[in-house]
Structure 1
Amino acid sequence: MRLPDGRDLEYEVQGPSTGPVALFHHGMPGSAVPMDTVLGSMTARGFRVITYSRAGYGTSSHATGRTVADTAADCAFLLTHLGVKRYLTVGWSAGGPHALASAAVAPESVEGVLLVSSFAPFDADGLDYVEGMGAQNVAQFGTVGHGESAMRELVGQMASAVRGNTSADVATEMASLLPPVDLAVLTAEYGADNAANMDHGLSRGDEGWVADLAALTSPWGFDFGVVVAPVELWHGTVDQMVPVTHGQWLAEHLPTAEVHLEPEQGHLSIAIGSLGEKLAVLRGRVADRATS
């Protein structure tokens, strides 16, 4: 679709046409390409799931200097374009901040937020941002503050390591980020889904990934105080991509959050095959709130 400023935003719609709508915010890197291993449990429960590619990924136009809130504004326009007035928003990993931003930007439309393995703000008070991360992410976030060229160089190296490779190759490249429970997930059915999703996201270059890294580590463009929708927050205790301390920080700063810290679950294992169940719990909270 064409956005008001002339940019293109690509999206996909999965699931029953009459089901409750869930807007899914992908990770970093990622794209609108549907992943059955991720979305299947949601569509099986009757949800109509909308995926999209953030600016710079896939065929979505680049947006110079985009913030997390800017992406949420793009999504609000998309949902209006599709005629959807009320919806839930789901954010996994780097999608988490964008899911919260959707609730901040369109509070009259977003009924609830599902956060899974979400990043906290880069300048979060009292949080050691990279403590507990695997070496690849320590290096990635370590480029912040050293200029755009340093960021682009490392993102380019990381993109080359995953673009066009098999799930086994990706697992080798991402070894420091994968506890055994996540390695098992990545080398199973999800691996092929993830590869197709990332390959499309990076098919026109690394611009989306660079923009994501900049957006995550800059001010997000909204205040947590305006997020009034119910939040279901899930985080695995052995997550090496986004350590559980990020989830704990978010839990302390989101007054509407119900928190689930899952022992022995990682970044991938906590999401694959179970997002539908988690989303149904959130929808139940939304319904209870409406009748109370």
Structure 2
Amino acid sequence: MPLFRLPDGRDLEYEVSGPSIGHAVVFHHGMPGSAVPMPTVLDSITERGFRVITYSRAGYGASSPAPGRSVADSAADCVSLLAYLGIAKYLTVGWSTGGPHALAQAALAPESVTGVLSVASFAPFDAPGLDFVEGMGAQNVAQFSITGQGEQAVRGLVTQMAAAVRNNSPADVVASLASLFSPVDAEVLVGRFGAENAANMNHALASSDEGWVADLMALTSPWGVDITAIKAKVELWHGFEDRMVPLSHGQWLAGHLPTVTPHLQADHGHLSIAIGSLGDKLDALTYTHAVTARDHRPGPGRSDRR
């Protein structure tokens, strides 16, 4: 996958999928995750004529580490990438840990982000009135609770959790991290998505666990941006059966984002709410984007491999 040299000298790994002249959608991956495209997640978007940009946050895949990065820092990297690609207007999509980054990008680049699709997103760690870990599976309670013990403790736990997902089959992952998967999500993971997700995560963790450590520290620190000031329209989706990011997070965001339209789904979990349906969920944002987007003239990155 291509690399973009950021202003501070770091490399940011990315990929562009779909029609070369389609309106742009930036996809922010989960934790752990990478720029490797997953057809079960993205095909419903590209089939609608959108150009999808995926990237690996700092420390994942071939993206250079950025110790101490915040959510806003990662979003700023993505803003720089889109400027490099010559894309002036775009939608952002964030799933799971990608949700805060999609929202942060909208807050940082209000002139560029015309809409946000937030799917099973975390709320801020210090969100008033929210018990961050209530309703999470045991493994997520452990990793979010240990951050108060410092980075060394976080690294120890991430090493254990990475071993449970790196180069393991989807069935083994379900068995190792059973508390995180409701029945509807376990069914999704052992299907076609499971193999794609394994490839995505294996690439993310191929060199080190730095991206996972940085994500966990960033999520449990100040995000560095006020997401409640977002002006772009936000379509928010969250499942009642989500054991990774409990419904209470979606409810908090729905109550505090000024331009949000919430869709809370009783029959979905963390994975099932996204697989094969992101294109449908983007429909509500498409018109707003179409009437504000300008012609996208090729930027320097247009000569990179697709």
Query: TM-score, normalised to structure 1's length?
Result: 0.97
Which has the larger displacement, 218-227 or 262-271? 218-227
Q: 2:257 aligns with which of 243, 254, 258?
A: 254
CA displacement at 1:289 relative to structure 2:
8.7
1:125-136 pair list within 5 angstroms: 125-136=128-139
Segments of structure 1 that go 5 or more residues without pairing to the other structure are none
RMSD between superposed Cα atoms in Å: 1.2
Distance 2:227 2:34 in 1: 26
Aligned to 1:185: 188
Match of 1:137 among 107, 118, 140: 140
Q: Is the 8 A contact 1:230 1:286 kept in 2?
A: no
**Does residue 78 of the first structure (1) align with residue 81 of the second (2)?**
yes
2:267 aligns to what?
264
Distance 2:227 2:62 in 1: 31
Give identity over the alignment, percent.
69
Task: Indicate yes or no: 2:150 matched with 1:147.
Answer: yes
Alpha-carbon distance in structure 2 between the residues aligned to 1:243 and 1:77: 32
Matches within 5 A, 1:52-201: 52-201=55-204
What's 2:239 paired with?
A: 236
Could you tell me which of 16, 25, 35 is aligned with 1:13?
16
Q: Say which SS state the counterpart of residue 12 (structure 2) adopts.
A: coil
What secondary structure does 1:234 align onto?
A: strand
Q: How many residues align?
A: 290
SS in 2 for 1:91: strand
Distance in structure 2 (CA, Å) of the matches to 1:285 and 1:132: 35
1:241-269 Cα deviation digits (max 9, x unpaired):
00000000001110100000001200000
CA distance in 2, matches of 1:5, 1:48: 27
Measured after TM superposition, the shift of residue 172 of structure 1 is 0.9
Give every structure 1 segment of 4 or more consecutive aligned residues whose post-TM-superposition deviation is greater than 6 Å: none
Q: Deviations over 1:143-179 (max 9, x none)?
A: 0111111110000100011001111111111210111
Displacement of 1:280 in angstroms is 1.9
Compute the displacement of 1:285 (Å): 4.5
**Which runs of structure 2 are paired with 1:212-223 in the superposition (5 Å)?**
212-223=215-226
TM-superposed CA distance for 1:225, in Å, is 3.7
Contact 1:237 1:263 in 2 (8 A): yes
Among 259, 271, 276, the alignment partner of 1:273 is: 276
Extract unaligned runs of 5+ from structure 2: 294-306
